[in-house]
Structure 1
Amino acid sequence: MTNHDGTCVTHRRYISYDHAHYGGNLVDGAYALAMFGDVATDICIQTDGDEGLFASYSDVQFKAPIRAGDFVEATGVITRTGNRSRTIDFTLSIVCRANPERGDSAADVLEEPIVATTATGTVVVPA
């Protein structure tokens, strides 16, 4: 068994306005979880040559709102390698945010990313 602890993958994505579900252009928390699923798939391919299966989340924390017009980064880091399972810590951070007060297409790079969602999940890969 190869130890993959510390393996890290990051995906960056712009959140278009068609993802807004609520007032204030808020995006539902499932968006972050979908990104975590993509990151987990990428990690499994990188480490095990297989997409793997997402088995469970042991913790999910919604810490700040995600809005349409945000640019986000979803990062996953393997924190435990079992025979077939991998525990992954996830973070979704907002790195850019739309600024409609300056104009319809204005946006700002944030000095400090805003941590919007964190989670811990377990994936399973074939033996």
Structure 2
Amino acid sequence: MSTHEPASRPAAVGMGVTHARYVPYSHAHYAGNLVDGAYSLALFGDVATELCIRTDGDEGLFASYSEVQFLAPVRAGDCLEVSATLVRVGSRSREMDFEVRVTARGATGRGASAADVLEPAVVATRARGTVVVPPAG
């Protein structure tokens, strides 16, 4: 698809996007290498943007969050999966569910670079938000 063609798939409930991300130590702000909650919200913006591009051929604009839950810490050195799933499609609005899952985490007790895969992954942040896109046409 070129940059001048509309999205190839119309927006439909259940469509989703997932990104994988390593959390660099430069993002730790608190004791225990904790990362602030805004880090997860920024990642939600990234997956929402890709989902809007795929469904509407436009990056869209984030309008609001109706709910945000910080359920577990995100730490520097974590490996994350960040997902957005469409739950409602309006004429211009796209309501999405978001989730950050920690899939691997440093195990510094075994060594400075030791890490463990977390199975199951730990759900760190959940949210629901609304993005708006330009009118079709």
The TM-score normalised by the length of structure 1 is 0.97
Root mean square deviation, CA, Å: 0.7
After superposition, the C-alpha distances for 1:32-62 in whole angstroms (9 at most, x for unaligned) are: 0000000000000000000000000000000
Q: What is the aligned partner in structure 1 of residue 12 from structure 2?
A: 4
Partner of 2:4: none
**Is 1:38 the counterpart of 2:17 in the alignment?**
no
SS at match of 1:67: coil
- Offset at 1:70? 0.3
Deviation at 1:121, TM superposition (A): 0.2
Q: Measure how far apart 1:102 and its partner are.
A: 1.1
C-alpha distance in 1, partners of 2:51/2:85? Answer: 8
Flag the structure with larger Rg: 2
Change (3 A) 1:92 1:15: same
> Which letter maps to 2:82?
A
Query: Percent of counterpart pairs with the same letter?
Result: 62
Residue 3 of structure 1: how far off its partner (Å):
4.7
Are 1:93 and 2:101 matched, yes or no? yes
Letter in 2 for 1:103: G
- Equivalent residue for 1:13? 21
SS at match of 1:21: strand
Q: Name the structure with the higher strand share.
A: 1
Q: What are the within-5 Å matches in structure 2 for residues 1-127 of structure 1? A: 2-127=10-135
Task: Report SS of the residue matched to 1:101.
Answer: helix
2:83–2:100 CA contact under 8 A, matched in 1: yes
Which consecutive segments of 4 or more residues in structure 1 shift more than 6 A? none
- 5+ residue gaps, structure 2, are 1-9
Cα distance in 1 for residues equivalent to 2:75 and 2:118: 14
Name the amino acid aligned to 2:67. D
The secondary structure found in structure 1 opposite 2:108 is coil
**Unmatched tracts of structure 1, length 5 or more:** none
